[in-house]
């Protein structure tokens, strides 16, 4: 089953969820003004501007990410940009750990709407163990996944693939 990421309902919901996240993490943020003579940007471009701004804000507030993880996961699975999803998934992994994020994404594959299932599939790519730039003690550090995380990923990956097969989506 394939879901059209460009379908207006999906990217409009993504924009609404990004607005909710912005209201929590950067309540005074405003969209940058358009250059003179430019038409207002397409909502997909506006989502990218919001998502790009949020990436560092979220990584700098991992306690807030933990507190609002459900909203951030929902925003991630509704996002329409495969690379943009990373900007939501990286802070979730940093705050919650791989397994918690993997379990949540598998839950969306099992019980989510077709759009959420497709979004969970896109998010899964970025939730794989890989080197990540994470702020720790005020310093950005590269963290590598441990051997235990990599071994656990192999096991949870089988669970993910089974859920995808049952839901009829590619993995």
pLDDT at residue 73 in the model: 97
User: In this structure, is residue 2 part of a structural domain?
Assistant: no
What is the count of structural domains for the chain? 1
pLDDT at residue 1 in the model: 45
pLDDT digits (tens, 9 = 90+) for 105-128: 999 999 999 999 999 999 999 999
pLDDT digits (tens, 9 = 90+) for 27-56: 999 988 877 766 666 777 788 889 989 998
pLDDT at residue 5 in the model: 52
User: In this structure, is residue 80 part of a structural domain?
Assistant: yes
**What is the SS3 assignment for 145?**
coil
User: In this structure, is residue 149 part of a structural domain?
Assistant: yes
- Statement: residue 14 has pLDDT above 80: yes
pLDDT at residue 141 in the model: 83
- Could you count the other beta carbons within 10 Å of the beta carbon of residue 163? 20
pLDDT at residue 62 in the model: 94
In the predicted model, what is the mean pLDDT of residues 88-116? 95
| 3-state class percentages of the chain: helix first, strand second, coil last, to nearest 5 | 65, 5, 25
Phi, then psi, of 107 in degrees rounded to 5 = -60, -40
Residue scoring higher pLDDT (89 or 170): 89
Domain that holds residue 109: 8-167
Q: What is the C-alpha to C-alpha distance for residues 32 and 24, in angstroms, rounded to an integer?
A: 18
pLDDT at residue 9 in the model: 67
User: In this structure, is residue 1 part of a structural domain?
Assistant: no
User: In this structure, is residue 38 part of a structural domain?
Assistant: yes
Among residues 75, 73, 137, 131, which one has the least CA distance to residue 101?
73
- Statement: residue 92 has pLDDT above 70: yes
The pLDDT > 70 percentage for the chain reads 91
Mean pLDDT of the chain: 87
- Statement: residue 26 has pLDDT above 70: yes
Q: What does the buried/exposed string (b/e) look like for 42-72 if buried means 16 or more CB atoms within 10 Å of the residue's CB?
A: eebebbbebbebbeebbbebbebbeebbeeb
Residue scoring higher pLDDT (135 or 148): 148
pLDDT at residue 137 in the model: 77
User: In this structure, is residue 143 part of a structural domain?
Assistant: yes
User: In this structure, is residue 3 part of a structural domain?
Assistant: no
pLDDT at residue 6 in the model: 54
Q: What is the C-alpha to C-alpha distance for residues 14 and 78, in angstroms, rounded to an integer?
A: 5
């Amino acid at each position: 089953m394939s879901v059209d990421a460009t379908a207006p309902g999906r990217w409009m919901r993504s924009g609404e969820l990004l607005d909710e996240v912005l209201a929590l993490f950067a309540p005074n943020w405003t969209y940058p003004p358009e250059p003179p003579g430019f038409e207002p940007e397409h909502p997909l471009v506006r989502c990218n501007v919001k998502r790009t701004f949020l990436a560092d804000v979220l990584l700098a507030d991992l306690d807030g990410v933990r507190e609002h993880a459900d909203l951030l996961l929902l925003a991630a699975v509704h996002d329409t940009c495969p690379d943009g999803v990373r900007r939501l998934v990286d802070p979730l992994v940093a705050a919650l750990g791989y397994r918690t994020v993997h379990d949540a994404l598998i839950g969306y594959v099992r019980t989510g709407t077709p759009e959420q299932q497709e979004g969970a599939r896109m998010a899964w790519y970025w939730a794989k163990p890989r080197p990540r730039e994470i702020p720790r003690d005020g310093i950005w550090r590269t963290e590598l996944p441990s051997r235990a995380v990599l071994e656990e990923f192999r096991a949870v990956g089988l669970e993910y693939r089974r859920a995808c097969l049952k839901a009829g989506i590619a993995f």
